[in-house]
Chain A
Amino acid sequence: MDRNRRAELLARADADDVRQLAEAFLSHRQVATELDIIAPPEVGMVMMQVREPVCKERFHLGEVVVTRAEVAVGGARGWAMRAGTDRETTLAAALLDACAEHDSALGSQVDDLCVETKARLDRARHQEWTELRSTAVSFEELD
């Protein structure tokens, strides 16, 4: 899986699933011994700048709380940023990213989690549209 897409899906993956897979990877002796924490999980903000459509100007809408972390496994860097303040899960997501870069067998397990996450997001989106489309309206004009 493309690294960018993997980061996007690990950012949205179920927290329990991310932590469980990371714990399973840490039971691998090689992962545990070759793990370096480059940047421990840090809670902070991302300033959201938007480009509005009238004058095509940028302005600051506000900030979004995120947590980010960076690790390396056997020299392969892994990075994650997730919404919210969950340090443990963000660190686990960075670990999964690094493992996916470091070892193709572990990478396929991370890919499975990402595919599962995408399927869940697609289902939610489909269900959302099913409900939304029933509210589509075409008001009649009175003469």
Chain B
Amino acid sequence: MGYAAARGGLKAIEAAERLVARERILGESSWLESRQMIEKLRLAVDRVMGEGGLWDEDLAASALRQAEGDSIEAAHLLRSYRSTLPRLAYTTPIDVDDMDVLRRIVPAFRNPPGPQLLGRTTDYTGRLLQTADEDTLRTAAEKMAAFLDEQVTPEVEVGHVVSGAEPTDDERRPRRLLELLRDLDAVVDRRRTDDPEPFDITRHPARPPATRSARLATMARAETGALVNVWYRNILGPDGYLHEITLGEVRHGRLPVKVVHPITGDEISVTEVRVTEVEAIEDLDGIEEDRGRFDVGYGLCFGHNEKKAIAMANLDIACERDKGRSFLEQSILLTTDGLDASGFLEHLKLPHYVTFRSMMERKAAVRRHKETT
């Protein structure tokens, strides 16, 4: 593959860039503040951090504004910025059981250990577009906010499983359904006793056959739509792989970022990041599999992005069962990175004059050859 670069056009390029900037910066509306985006376009900002592989809400919001709302372009900007920064440290291995949940549901089990907390969601609400004028919508939103502020002790549904005003450890950090399944001997045990170094996808490209840590890291920063697409092909069966899955845990919460204090040598927490975590329970039914037990896939990504974490958990266990027999791992590793895919796609817009002229000449040569034979 090749294309010839072009030169010139600098004034036109600068003028085009100014047109974008003028509308983005000025327009007829007021300046779009980062804080507004972090609060009101939370899921978009979270998605950019996840796909950029970099946690910083302010920078992600700034990237989203600069990219005029294009999440892949914003992730690209974040990755470019990331490449200018030194890596100062690695965290100590963060135990995901240290997550303080902001939302936790267990679709597979009615009474799991700990509470089912719906948290901030519209999962159970009808998808009705709000068509009222903006003043009406704003007034309604302000009334709703005032109602919430006045509620000193919000009403709690009878029959729930939370205790008093202060949460117990099991309520903010509930025991996993996976642990209950282990207690019941209902899940295969794949816990490792060694502790291999994780694959670093920022330093080396992950290629099949890859370690599981490489697959998980790749999916954690994959483009959401691409990952959902690979999962959908896989679950529907056009790739010849149909499997039945139930979600065990779906969590959104905060994980501590722990580093070693350089003076004391002790582990300390310097900040927190929000993550989405999913465990997918797989029904094993293969001849060579333990059909008396389940297996579990795992998904974890920056921010609140349940679609991505669900797809990731499903694909984690699908890869484990596939054992390299299909193109699944290759699809995950080579086609789900938003920057890779969009970078290739976007380059097609650059001038390819010489390439195309060469192709035209080849076509003409073929025609001439046909005419003379």
Q: Are B192 and A141 in touch, CB under 8 angstroms?
A: no
In the complex formed, the residue of A with least CB distance to B86 is A44
CA distance in complex: A12, B161 (Å): 32
**How many A-B contacts if CB must be within 8 Å?**
227
CB of B188 to closest CB in A, whole Å: 10
Contact partner of A64 (CB less than 8 A), chosen from B56, B119, B154, B191, is: B56
Interface positions of A from 83 to 114, Cβ below 8 Å from B: 83-85
Q: Are A83 and B153 in touch, CB under 8 angstroms?
A: no
Query: Contacts A61-B217, A134-B156 given: A50-B94 contact, CB under 8 Å?
Result: yes
Q: Are A59 and B161 in touch, CB under 8 angstroms?
A: no
Interface positions of B from 190 to 221, Cβ below 8 Å from A: 190-192, 195-202, 212-214, 216-217, 220-221
Q: Quick check: is B95 within 8 A (CB to CB) of the other chain?
A: yes
Q: Are A55 and B172 in touch, CB under 8 angstroms?
A: no
Query: Contacts A59-B212, A59-B217, A79-B261 given: A8-B198 contact, CB under 8 Å?
Result: no
Q: Are B212 and A51 in touch, CB under 8 angstroms?
A: no
Contact partner of A83 (CB less than 8 A), chosen from B178, B199, B216, B270, is: B270
Selected interface stretch from A15-23, A29-37, A124-132? A124-132
CA distance in complex: A88, B153 (Å): 40
Q: Are B110 and A139 in touch, CB under 8 angstroms?
A: yes
CA distance in complex: A57, B271 (Å): 23
Q: Quick check: is B2 within 8 A (CB to CB) of the other chain?
A: no
Selected interface stretch from B17-25, B129-137, B162-170, B362-370? B162-170
Q: Quick check: is A47 within 8 A (CB to CB) of the other chain?
A: yes
Contact partner of B88 (CB less than 8 A), chosen from A44, A48, A57, A137, is: A44
Q: 0/1 per residue, B248-272, Cβ < 8 Å to A?
A: 0000000101010111101011110
Residues of A within 8 A of B96 (CB): 50-53
Residues of B within 8 A of A45 (CB): 54, 82, 85-88
CB of A91 to closest CB in B, whole Å: 15
CA distance in complex: A48, B49 (Å): 13
Q: Quick check: is A24 within 8 A (CB to CB) of the other chain?
A: no
CB of A9 to closest CB in B, whole Å: 10
CB of A128 to closest CB in B, whole Å: 8
Q: Are B154 and A130 in touch, CB under 8 angstroms?
A: yes
CA distance in complex: A130, B124 (Å): 21
Q: Are B88 and A54 in touch, CB under 8 angstroms?
A: no
CA distance in complex: A7, B272 (Å): 14
CB of A71 to closest CB in B, whole Å: 12
CB of A69 to closest CB in B, whole Å: 11
In the complex formed, the residue of B with least CB distance to A64 is B55
CB of A76 to closest CB in B, whole Å: 10
Interface residues on A, range: 35 or more
Q: Are A65 and B59 in touch, CB under 8 angstroms?
A: yes
Q: Are B261 and A7 in touch, CB under 8 angstroms?
A: yes
Q: 0/1 per residue, B95-125, Cβ < 8 Å to A?
A: 1110000110000001100011111000000
Interface residues on B, range: 35 or more
Contact partner of B117 (CB less than 8 A), chosen from A58, A135, A141, is: A135
Residues of B within 8 A of A52 (CB): 96, 216, 298, 300
Q: Are B178 and A53 in touch, CB under 8 angstroms?
A: yes
CA distance in complex: A85, B82 (Å): 12
Interface positions of B from 44 to 86, Cβ below 8 Å from A: 49-50, 53-56, 58-59, 82, 85-86
Q: Are B156 and A136 in touch, CB under 8 angstroms?
A: yes
Contact partner of A135 (CB less than 8 A), chosen from B55, B119, B198, is: B119
In the complex formed, the residue of A with least CB distance to B178 is A53
CA distance in complex: A134, B89 (Å): 39
CA distance in complex: A138, B166 (Å): 20
Q: Are B115 and A46 in touch, CB under 8 angstroms?
A: no
Q: Quick check: is A81 within 8 A (CB to CB) of the other chain?
A: yes
CB of B215 to closest CB in A, whole Å: 8
Q: Are B160 and A138 in touch, CB under 8 angstroms?
A: yes
Residues of A within 8 A of B220 (CB): 59-62
Contacts from A to B (Cβ < 8 Å): 3-4, 7-8, 11-12, 42-66, 68, 70, 77, 79, 81-85, 126, 128-139, 141
The 3 closest A-B pairs by CB, nearest first: A134-B154, A83-B271, A44-B88
Cβ contacts A to B, 26 pairs, < 8 Å:
A3-B261, A7-B261, A42-B88, A45-B54, A46-B88, A50-B93, A50-B96, A51-B93, A53-B96, A55-B191, A55-B212, A58-B197, A60-B213, A62-B53, A62-B55, A63-B54, A64-B91, A64-B257, A65-B54, A79-B261, A83-B56, A134-B155, A137-B116, A137-B118, A137-B157, A137-B160
